[in-house]
Each structure stands twice: as C-alpha cells, then as structure tokens.
Amino acid sequence: MKYQEYYQVITDQLEQEFKEEGEQISQAAQYCADSVMENRLIHVFGCGHSQMFAMEVFYRAGGLVPVNALLIPHLALFPKAKLSTMQERIEGFAKGYLELEDADPRDTMIIVSISGRNAGVVDMALAAKEIGMKVVALVSESFADATTSRHSSGKNLKDVADTVIDIKCVAGDAALSIEGMEAKFCGTSTVLGMTVMESIIAQTVENCMKRGYCPPVYVSSNLDKGDAINAEYIKNYSKQISCL
C-alpha cells in the first residue's frame, strides 16, 4: 500500500536527518539563542512553497515571539503560482528589502530552499551576511548537487550559508513511484523541513533557559488567557517585527 510506503520513506529519512544533522541543528539553535538573548530577531525566508517554513514558526502557539517571517508577496504562490517561480529567479531585491526591516548584525537569518539554486535565496543570504548576520540554510544537498546555480555568482545557497542543514529528501523531492507512471510523486521535504524547523526552536529555548533567560513564547489565542498574554508580546515587539 502506497500510504504505508510513504510512511516508511518519511520514517527512514527522518531517522537519517537526526542521525547525521544533529550537530548542524545544534549550531543553528546556538545562533538563534544568541540573537534572542540580545533581544534581537530570527528572520525566516523562503520562496513559493518554502514560505510555509516561515509561517510555521511565526506567530503561533508554542512559537518563539522574536521570529520575523519574511513573507514577500511577489514570492508567494498567490495570486499566480507561476509568477512566484519567475520572481524567485530574479536577484537584486534582497538588500533593499532588508533595509525596510529592522535588520541587525545580531540577528539570525534562516533560509529554506530545497534546491538552493535560485537567485532569490542566494541574494537574501548574501544580503544578510553583508549586514553581519549568521545565515542558516535548509537545503537538500543531493538536490543542490544535481543542479546549477541561477545566481550570477554561480553559487548555491549552501555555498553562502554559515551553517547548512541537509534535508534528506531525494533529488527532485518526489519519493514514490508506481508501475505505469513515469513521474515520481509525493514529496518529503516539507515533513523533514518542518520537523527540523521546530527542532531548532526547541533547542533554542533550551539553550536560552540553560543560560538563565526565559524566552517569550506565544500561547494559543484559543486558551482563555491567550489573547491577554500575546497582546503584551505584540506590544513589545511590534516595532521590531514588521508583519505583526
């Protein structure tokens, strides 16, 4: 049964992920904890479907408050999905965009791109590093190595980042095949990447607590006291986080 096969593929890839990438996840969390303890931000950026990773850790129950999701409209899947594909291949916007944000050398930038090849993500990594941020990349190295860069520098995202977390999906992402169908189907990068993102947050919280700082964490707005608790966080961070 294909649903069982998919579960097994995901289980195997997750096991490989945490067996091989633990050191990189820990390093990413160290950068993030340093930023949080400096009262600074963790920026998360992706194009197209990869905007989901920024959404996952921004303004959500159990999520760190000082997370800034860089949800750039022309890179989203709406109003036209094919437009985001065109726009993510264009370089030159990232530096100007970060000038509109409360960007600081003490911040951490997390960029998610499973192929790592498109100009937009390389551009953002270079712009963040120019400011002085630490840059963490979630990239599938097998996917990246099977492609060529679309950035004028010839670099892939994994060539620019300070820390690279290898997302253990296959090149092309789709993992299943069936007799009579040439194309493979069912990607795994979202499950792997989301698990890695939440793992970074988990380790960041622990790192902060071990250093004597209790980081601010959102409470579900559907709990009775959630709105009041979160309102105070929003008040404190609204000048730093542009999309609150």
Print the domain residue range for 61. Answer: 17-237
Q: Report the distance separating Cα 133 and Cα 214, nearest Å.
A: 23
Q: What is the largest CA-CA distance in the chain?
A: 59
Q: Is there a domain that residue 244 lies in?
A: no
Does 219 reside within a domain?
Answer: yes
Q: What's the rounded Cα separation, in Å, for the pair 35 and 3?
A: 41
Q: Answer whether residue 12 is part of any domain.
A: no
Residue 243 lies in a domain: no
Q: What is the pLDDT of residue 14?
A: 98
pLDDT at 229: 97
Judged against a pLDDT cut of 90, whether residue 88 lies above it is answered with no
Mean pLDDT for the stretch of residues 88-116: 94
Q: How far apart are CA 114 and CA 4, in angstroms?
A: 24
Helix axes 189-210, 22-37, angle to 10 degrees: 50
Nearest residue to 161 via CA among 201, 110, 118, 115: 110
User: Which tens digits make up the pLDDT trace of 221-236?
Assistant: 999 999 999 999 999 9
When pLDDT is averaged across residues 31-38 and rounded to a whole number, the result is: 99
> Is 33 part of any domain?
yes
Q: How far is CA 204 from CA 50, 102, 105, 111, 216, in A?
A: 21, 21, 18, 17, 12
Mean pLDDT of 159-182: 96
* 90 — pLDDT class (breaks 50, 70, 90): confident
Q: List the alpha helices (DSSP H) in 80-212.
A: 81-87, 94-100, 119-131, 141-145, 157-160, 189-210
pLDDT range class, residue 11, cuts 50, 70, 90: very high
Q: Which pLDDT score is estimated for 101?
A: 93
Q: What is the full DSSP assignment across 4-55? A: HHHHHHHHHHHHHHHHHSHHHHHHHHHHHHHHHHTT--EEEEESGGGHHHHH
Confidence at residue 230, expressed as pLDDT on a 0 to 100 scale: 97
Examine residue 161 and state whether it is found in any structural domain, yes or no: yes
What pLDDT, on a 0 to 100 scale, did the predictor assign at position 126?
97
pLDDT, residue 83, reads: 83
Q: What is the CATH number of the domain that holds 195?
A: 3.40.50.10490
Confidence of residue 79 (pLDDT cuts 50, 70, 90): confident
**Average pLDDT, whole number, for the chain?**
96
pLDDT for res 171: 87
In the chain, the percentage of residues whose pLDDT exceeds 90 is 85
Asked, for residue 50, whether it belongs to a domain, the answer is yes
Looking at the structure of the chain, the number of domains it has is: 1
Let me know if residue 8 belongs to a domain: no
